[in-house]
Structure 1
Amino acid sequence: MKNHIQSVLHQLEQKTQKRMLKNVSSSDGAWIVMNGRKMLNLASNNYLGLANDERLIKAGCQAMRTYGAGATASRLIVGNYELYTRAEEALKKWKKAEAALIFNSGYTANLGIIASLIGRDDIVFSDWLNHASIIDGIRLSKAERYRYRHNDLDHLESLLKQASPHKRKLIVTDSIFSMDGDIAQLEGLVTLKKRYNAILMVDEAHSSGIYGKRGEGLVHHFHLQDEVDIQMGTFSKALGCFGAYVTGEQWLIDYLMNTMRSFIFTTALPPAVLGAIEKSIEIVQQEHARRQTLQVHSHYFRDELQKLGFDIGKSTTHIVPIIIGSNEQTVQMSERLQEHGIAAVAIRPPTVPEGTSRIRFSLSSSLTKEELDWALERIAEVGREMGLIAS
């Protein structure tokens, strides 16, 4: 076993795909200290800068003082503190949903939701670039599965036409694709789900808090909340906390509570996390300026990178990749940017398809335009030195 594992690790190293943890010793939102070096943080999912907000910290501390450091049991045993009821009520009102359920993480949420809803006798249709948690949930379900080409509704429809009309069908997609920064064609997906009598599930992990009148997500932004059957999202990105949620009709929540193994057989979230979640839901609905600033930053950053000659794919959001291709050059660029004081991480297979390795930038409303300009100068410098863009 040991020899086999060491061989696998060696192969990963040879392909420049071996990962190593980096030590982050402090963070104030816009800047972090990583491996002992202060860097501008262009790599985190703290899109609205809420992870360092004193109001969330205060709410979390108060919940911990009242209920303790740990939940001590699963929610179905004695871990379902009233904090859950308050947070889920706030979540329902925010999302204008009939019912809501909070989970421990986005990964366990997708794994459990999909594996609970479909099985061997069902069919699932998944976008080619969906997150790994969706892919793993589908695998666990053992349902018949089809992957449609990214955002290709014609391909999806051809697959739906082939499917047995007598089988239950689930279509599942990210709303914002986490490595490419483009968005799903939600209106077209709603049309197809109606036409072929399917259920539609949308993962709002990277759009919750950012899109919609009150930050509800892209489903609400396109006024499709009554058409999408299952809305899943996370608190760990724009909302600055931890955990995940699903909203939908009461039958869905009751069913998941009784069948979802990753919900039933895990200890509940710590009270501090729930206190912060409740406060974050309140803040994100009120502080529209954070969303507006993020949109302005994102548009500016994308435009400037394109003017410099970088390939940013089809990004239209706050997630902006520079697609390089080779693992070696991507790792080299990441290291060079870190030497210049920019936290930028190399994204390589299997996270992205072979030949599409990239630097993935994640923007935040806590950044200033001056900081973005400072970063763009250094990105351009490294890009020219490496021959990725013209001098």
Structure 2
Amino acid sequence: MNSKACPFLNKFSMSSIRQYAPLFLSYVERCPVMMQSFSRQSTVSGDNAAPNLATEAEVQKCPFLTQVNVTVTEASQAVQEDTIGQQLLQLQPQEEKQPEKENPSPKFFNYEAFFAKQLQKKKEEHTYRVFKKVLRDASSFPHAFEHSTGKEKDITVWCSNDYLGMSWHPKVKEAVSEALWKHGAGSGGTRNISGNSPLHEQLERELAKLHHKEAGLVFTSCYVANDTTLFTLGKHLPGMHFFSDAGNHASMIQGIRTSMAQKHVFRHNDPDHLEEMLKKVDPNVPKVVAFETVHSMDGTICPTVEMCDVAHKYGALTFVDEVHAVGLYGDHGAGVGEQDDCLDKMDIISGTLGKAFGNMGGYIVGSAKLVDMIRSYGSGFIFTTSLPPTVLNGCLASIKVLASDEGRELRARQKRNVKYLREKLVSAGLPASHSPSHIIPIMVGDAEACTKLSNDLILKYGIYVQSINYPTVAKGTERLRVAPTPHHTKEMMDTFVDCLAELWKDSGLTLYGQVCPDSCECCNRELNIQDMFKREPVCLRTNCTYASLQAALA
């Protein structure tokens, strides 16, 4: 036996090998390293030929190579239990039949682990959203019941987009109830198959009349209306170029992006920058300028007339989102376009039925041919179940109320409440940003602090105002978004400010911070933020909240 050829046998003395010769012979007979060594030696002449040492590849086959301290007793036991044999059987030459192995299971992507990681990331950034469980009280707007803790809690709502409380207006509720008993709960399908009705067409005529347009088209939401209309225009107009305001809503961005048309993004509410971009595009190609009148998160109102004039100067259509303006501005509630007397400059207007009108759904109005094209080609309209008769009838009732003297009174009361609350917030040192609209952003600037303020307000004081964090707003601009209605009383507003100011101090947040943007819309002049604590007025308009703060500080 040539023990020098085997790294395993080299661990034992010759006397030990002789003593356990039968055991080691059994090992040798099954070991490919030893058998191969014997085979090579047989080709060498002479009995005294030097033994061939095992090659490195052969050494790696030895099942005992990695065992440093192997005793003879352990070797004997291994041979008797056939442990060595089982290991050596797997090292037989390739031509010998190998025992079949089961194929290992394929390693699939771990979806659940990925989802968990993404959710944990949101939680660590304090942008994970936990919805409040709120049921509004239709008999006492803006009161509601909160159910997040499992127990019903009385609260007041300060962040609803039901800006005028029309969802609980007696005429609206009566119209919804009447339609339910007459026509049932559902519409029956898409408009194209079995979901069309005289109520749909009546509502579309009413909306077109409100905005001084030829035709209207109703969608299940304004997200769908914006997405579908812009996508369809981008797909069908040859060589289309979109010019999109940097502050546009996600629905508009989605429609433009997925259409794969050329896109240019201009600075928010900046007609000069828009003109710079329009100048660079061939005047003969189709163009659409898309923007919002009232911005939902900062409360700004765009220079509507200037934007439309610049667009038309270069042959572009205007697509104007009036979602946060319809029902709230203008003599009949047609929005900023009516207030600024420029409805004729708006080629396509999109609006919602789910905010100031207090129901749900969205729409566009425009020329008859344009609306008919979207009706005929827009998949978001064609393949979606239509609005039910209850919603249609409720919307019709709400539009009529807001176009009347009652609607004008509601808008006037809301305007007074917005002014009163903003001034109270500013005088308390809370950073309520200046905005010319009904939306009051209270700037926090930190996601965790913003969420905590929202939670503490509802838990301690029964005040519900939602925190607005990324991705709805940019990181570092987190805020509480407040929208007082005509039905919030002065006592309620005073209590709101007192409670928020108390929590603000407890949170260590800065009081008397900036309340006007760098460019103040009241006087349209550049402001130096460092002037905030100076005593001289920096805003020429006496009704500007920035000037109100100066007076409070004085």
Q: Which TM bucket (shorter chain)? A: over 0.9
Partner of 2:143: 31
Per-residue displacement from partner, 1:78-116 (whole Å, max 9, x unpaired)?
Answer: 211111122222222222221111111011111101001
- Does the residue aligned with 1:76 lie in a helix, a strand or coil? coil
Distance 2:511 2:476 in 1: 21
- Does the residue aligned with 1:201 lie in a helix, a strand or coil? strand
Per-residue displacement from partner, 1:275-320 (whole Å, max 9, x unpaired)?
Answer: 1011111111111110000111111112222222232334222111
Return the index of the structure with the highest Cα Rg. Answer: 2
Please give the TM-score of this superposition, normalised by the length of structure 2: 0.69
Per-residue displacement from partner, 1:337-360 (whole Å, max 9, x unpaired)?
Answer: 112221011111111012101111
Structure 2 residues without counterparts, runs of 5 or longer:
1-110, 513-554
Partner of 1:241: 359
Residue among 468, 471, 489 paired with 1:347: 468
Partner of 2:48: none
Partner of 2:193: 77
Residue among 155, 161, 170 paired with 1:45: 161
Distance 1:325 1:26 in 2: 29
> What is the CA-CA distance between 1:54 and the residue it aligns to?
2.0
Distance 1:306 1:167 in 2: 48
Partner of 1:134: 252
Is residue 299–residue 317 contact of structure 1 (8 Å, CA) maintained in 2? no
Distance 1:275 1:233 in 2: 17
Residue among 497, 518, 536 paired with 1:376: 497
Is residue 2:441 matched to residue 1:331?
no
Please give the TM-score of this superposition, normalised by the length of structure 1: 0.97
Distance 1:193 1:157 in 2: 8
Is residue 431–residue 511 contact of structure 2 (8 Å, CA) maintained in 1? no
> What is the CA-CA distance between 1:389 and the residue it aligns to?
4.1
Per-residue displacement from partner, 1:365-391 (whole Å, max 9, x unpaired)?
Answer: 121122111111111111222232449
- The aligned amino acid for 2:448 is E
Partner of 2:240: 122
Greater CA drift, 162-171 or 44-53: 162-171
Partner of 2:509: 388
- The aligned amino acid for 1:333 is L
- Does the residue aligned with 1:79 lie in a helix, a strand or coil? coil
Is residue 441–residue 482 contact of structure 2 (8 Å, CA) maintained in 1? yes
Partner of 2:203: 87
Is residue 2:19 matched to residue 1:19?
no
- The aligned amino acid for 2:143 is W
Cα RMSD (Å): 1.5
Partner of 1:308: 428
- Does the residue aligned with 1:38 lie in a helix, a strand or coil? strand
Distance 1:147 1:201 in 2: 14
Partner of 2:306: 188
- The aligned amino acid for 1:215 is G
- Does the residue aligned with 2:227 lie in a helix, a strand or coil? helix
Greater CA drift, 35-44 or 221-230: 35-44
Partner of 1:113: 229
Greater CA drift, 156-165 or 110-119: 156-165
Distance 1:163 1:390 in 2: 47
Is residue 2:484 matched to residue 1:363?
yes
Partner of 2:384: 266
Is residue 127–residue 151 contact of structure 1 (8 Å, CA) maintained in 2? yes
Partner of 1:252: 370
Greater CA drift, 24-33 or 283-292: 24-33
Distance 1:167 1:361 in 2: 42
Is residue 430–residue 511 contact of structure 2 (8 Å, CA) maintained in 1? no
- Does the residue aligned with 2:497 lie in a helix, a strand or coil? helix
- Does the residue aligned with 2:444 lie in a helix, a strand or coil? strand
Partner of 2:545: none
Structure 1 residues without counterparts, runs of 5 or longer:
none
Greater CA drift, 5-14 or 376-385: 376-385
Is residue 47–residue 237 contact of structure 1 (8 Å, CA) maintained in 2? yes
Distance 1:167 1:367 in 2: 50
Distance 1:358 1:317 in 2: 16
- The aligned amino acid for 1:14 is E
Distance 1:149 1:305 in 2: 29
Per-residue displacement from partner, 1:149-190 (whole Å, max 9, x unpaired)?
Answer: 111222222211222323211111111000111111101101
> What is the CA-CA distance between 1:25 and the residue it aligns to?
3.0
Greater CA drift, 10-19 or 161-170: 161-170
Aligned residues: 391
Residue among 402, 410, 434 paired with 1:290: 410
Is residue 310–residue 388 contact of structure 1 (8 Å, CA) maintained in 2? no
Partner of 1:3: 113
Q: How does 1:200-211 map to 2 (within 5 A)?
A: 200-211=318-329
- Does the residue aligned with 1:245 lie in a helix, a strand or coil? strand
Residue among 212, 222, 227 paired with 2:340: 222
- The aligned amino acid for 2:283 is P
Q: Which runs of 4+ in 1 moved over 4 A?
A: none
- The aligned amino acid for 1:363 is P
Distance 1:220 1:276 in 2: 23
- Does the residue aligned with 1:75 lie in a helix, a strand or coil? coil
- The aligned amino acid for 2:457 is L
Is residue 308–residue 389 contact of structure 1 (8 Å, CA) maintained in 2? no
Greater RCO structure (CA 8 Å; 6+ sep)? 1
- Does the residue aligned with 1:78 lie in a helix, a strand or coil? coil
Distance 2:153 2:378 in 1: 43
Greater CA drift, 332-341 or 198-207: 332-341
Greater CA drift, 364-373 or 261-270: 364-373
| Percentage of pairs with the same residue | 33
Is residue 305–residue 345 contact of structure 2 (8 Å, CA) maintained in 1? no
- Does the residue aligned with 1:59 lie in a helix, a strand or coil? helix
